[in-house]
Structure 1
Amino acid sequence: MAVAAQASLRFYQNSAFFPRHPRLFRDSQLRPPSGVSSARIRASSAVALEPELTTEARDTTNVDLFACPICYEPLIRKGPSGFNLPAIYRSAFKCRKCNKSYSSKNIYLDLTVTSGTKEYNEFKPAGTELFRSPLVSFVYERGWRQNFNRSGFPGPDEEFNMAQEYFKPAEGGVLVDVSCGSGLFSRKFAKSGAYSRVIALDFSENMLRQCYDFIKNDDAILSSNLALVRADVSRLPFPSGSVDAVHAGAALHCWPSPSNAIAEINRILRSGGVFVGSTFLRISSSTPILLRPFRQ
């Protein structure tokens, strides 16, 4: 067994860090390490979009729920109204404070600090760069993710059901699926109809492209409030206290700094919001007894 249900940690707003959390690690091999751990943080609604729906021809200008990843000032959005992929693709976003503009790149909205920079290459740790590979993005749901059950994960359907139980207080609000990968859970959250908006967020351009390849073949998801956003988990592009729920499935071990990421998640959550995350945890004879229950 794994993921959110049994191994849950609860933190409330202004308590962003795992107390004495087990040391997270990266594994660059295709086969994941043994064990899985999960955590839940209570703290707080941001924004989301949706794919191919009809959009109004009349352009509007308003303050958007997305924020500048540099200064966290809410972005000004100009373009068709609505939260769907076509509307966002046709919209322009700008920070009044930084005077920096952001735009969609074909299928996703790029809200990284380096968005729009033509001559700039940024390399993350191996655990992060691995998932930017087109090959890994392609095979993730075609065999890679299925191997996780060897490490204690109960499978995507059960993991989704367990997360949904924790997210009941956030129903009707905005959910951000951080490190969404190819959108395995983002699609499930969007299809559930339990949230007003769902944002599939990842740093990997190729994962977001693969996510869209799955979405475009499902009319039910195309008509849902789902957006694709490229962002860094350490600089989440949302105002403080604006998101109702954050999910990170089997992702914490890939983050360059899990503590910084958790602090960011805590920042964007509303009071009473919920964070559900899972990761691998290797148990050995040297593992403190208090941490061993998090094997489940």
Structure 2
Amino acid sequence: MVSISANNFKLHRHPSLFHNCKNGPHLFSLHFRSSKIRATISVASDTESATQTKDTSEVDLFACAVCYEPLIRKGPAGFNLPAIYRSGFKCKNCKKTYSSKNIYLDLTVTAGAKDYSESRPVRTELFRSPLVSFLYERGWRQSFDRSGFPGPDEEFKMAQEYFKVAEGGVLVDVSCGSGLFSRKFAQSGAYSRVIALDFSENMLRQCYDFIKSDDSILNSNLALVRADVSRLPFSSASVDAVHAGAALHCWSSPSNAIAEINRVLRSGGVFVGTTFLRYTASTPAILRPLRQQLLQNYNYLTEEEIEDLCTSCGLINYTSKVQQSFIMFSAQKP
């Protein structure tokens, strides 16, 4: 029996291994960083071989939120809602286990905790509310056009232009809310896998409510994952595209979140986000302090601050489009 150790290697996207399989790889996805491969030879008895064949587990895209080691998956093959939520996941390093809540896969650090919960900023808890989650696509998101947001359909088209270099790869829609854009990305067929990720349990439930009546999405290469954007449950350099729609201003630490996004992106991977600006170049100087005071409960940034944040976290090729208080920005992993 030959086992290959590839902890220090990276394999750039290869269609036959990653992206041309609609339901995801059914064996191991290896990541190579150099031309050297260490192989060890071991001899297994017939009994041992039979046991290993019976217990063979799939190494999936997901990683442990505690130690970032890949998770071993046991369950039906495939990358879609029904298959993933009939599977169990376990960290091969720290042995922490993760399971689904029937609707979403919980990959937070505190997954499985019985007596411990963390208090979050008010803006975070607001979006965990069942009422706000229900209203998000039923009037809340539509009100953004008053601040210059061009509307979901146009925003999706704009994002797709930035993501052309990531077509066929893995896309993560962080802070996805009710999955407004996650569903569009999944329906587009442009990506091998789409992960709708949010910290709010109720947003993910709303996302599932929109999906469950549409078999074309329910059985597509889409997963719903609960996770913290500041501790993304993916291996380093494993994701081709990250989208964050109207989200950055809600993050408790934008710098930690963008550093995490940079970590999980592959070389050449793209990050696209939209948010509200604190003020723009056209905002009269006399109004800027007042606007900053009114918006202090959120992390509204300026154009210059967003660019500086992306570049300071290691991203390059920053570009942006601004309309009133709306900004769509893009940056790339070197």
TM-score range, shorter chain: 0.7 to 0.9
Identify which of structures 1 and 2 has the higher relative contact order when contacts are C-alpha pairs closer than 8 Å and 6+ apart: 1
Superposition pairs of residues 47-126 of structure 1, within 5 angstroms: 61-126=57-122
Aligned to 1:25: none
Shift of 1:129: 0.8
Distance in 1 separating the partners of 2:108 and 2:152: 28
1:131 maps onto 2:130 in alignment? no
Task: Give the residue type in structure 2 aligned to 1:110.
Answer: D
Contact 2:278 2:302 in 1 (8 A): no
Equivalent pair of 1:112/1:230 in contact (CA under 8 Å): yes
3-state SS of paired residue (2:127): helix
Structure 2: which amino acid aligns with 1:266? Answer: N
* Letter matched to residue 268 of structure 1: V
1:285 CA displacement: 3.0
Distance 1:222 1:59 in 2: 28
| Alignment length (residue pairs) | 244
What per-residue deviation string (whole Å, max 9, x for no partner) do you get for residues 22-68 of structure 1?
xxxxxxxxxxxxxxxxxxxxxx99x99xxx9xxxxx98512121000
* Rg (Cα) greater in structure: 2
Distance 2:90 2:303 in 1: 48
Query: What CA deviation, in whole Å up to 9, does each residue of 1:201-260 have, x standing for no partner?
Result: 000000000000000122221121000000000000000000000000000001000010
Indicate the residue corresponding to 1:240 in structure 2. 236
User: Are 1:196 and 2:192 matched, yes or no?
Assistant: yes
Contact 1:181 1:207 in 2 (8 A): yes
Q: Name the CA shift for 1:149/1:112 in 2 (closer, same or farther; >3 Å).
A: same
Distance 1:166 1:127 in 2: 29
The within-5 A match list for 1:184-223 is 184-223=180-219
- Give the SS at the match of 2:75: strand
User: Structure 2 length normalisation: TM-score?
Assistant: 0.69
Q: Which amino acid is the alignment partner of residue 256 of structure 1?
A: S
Measure how far apart 1:282 and its partner are.
Answer: 2.7
Equivalent of 1:230 in 226, 229, 244: 226
1:60–1:79 contact (8 Å) kept in structure 2 = no
Secondary structure of 1:135 counterpart: helix
Measured at CA, do residues 223 and 96 of structure 1 come closer, stay the same or move farther in structure 2, by a change above 3 Å?
closer
Equivalent position amino acid for 1:129 in 2: E
CA distance in 1: counterparts of 2:161 and 2:219, whole angstroms: 24
- Between the aligned partners of 1:174 and 1:199, the Cα distance in structure 2 is 8
Q: Secondary structure at the match of 1:232?
A: coil
Amino acid at match of 1:285: P
**TM-score, L = length of structure 1:** 0.78
- The AA in structure 1 aligned to 2:159 is A
Written as runs of structure 1 = structure 2, the 5 A alignment for 1:283-294 is 283=279, 284-286=283-285, 291=304
Specify the SS of the correspondent of 1:80: coil
Would the aligned equivalents of 2:110 and 2:117 in 1 still touch at CA under 8 Å? no
Distance across 2 between alignment mates of 1:290 and 1:114: 35
Matched, 1:275 2:274: no
TM-aligned CA deviation for residue 290 of structure 1:
7.4
Contact 1:59 1:80 survives alignment (8 Å): no
Deviation at 1:120, TM superposition (A): 1.4
**1:258 alignment partner in structure 2:** 254
Q: Which amino acid is 1:104 matched to?
A: S
**CA displacement, residues 79-133 of structure 1 (integer Å, 9 cap, x when unaligned):** 1111111211111111121111000011100000000001112121111111000
% identical equivalent positions? 79
1:173 aligns with 2:172: no
Instruction: Provide the aligned C-alpha RMSD in A.
Output: 2.5
CA distance in structure 2 between the aligned counterparts of 1:215 and 1:256, rounded to whole angstroms: 29
Q: Where do 5+ consecutive residues of structure 2 fail to align?
A: 1-12, 24-53, 289-300, 306-319, 324-334
Distance 1:290 1:159, change over 3 A: closer
Paired AA for residue 86 in structure 1: P
CA 289–140 in structure 1, closer or farther in 2 if over 3 Å, else same: closer
SS at 1:132 equivalent? coil
Rate the CA distance shift 1:60–1:208 in 2: closer, same or farther, 3 A.
Answer: farther
Aligned CA distance change for structure 1 residues 91 and 270 (closer, same or farther; 3 Å): same
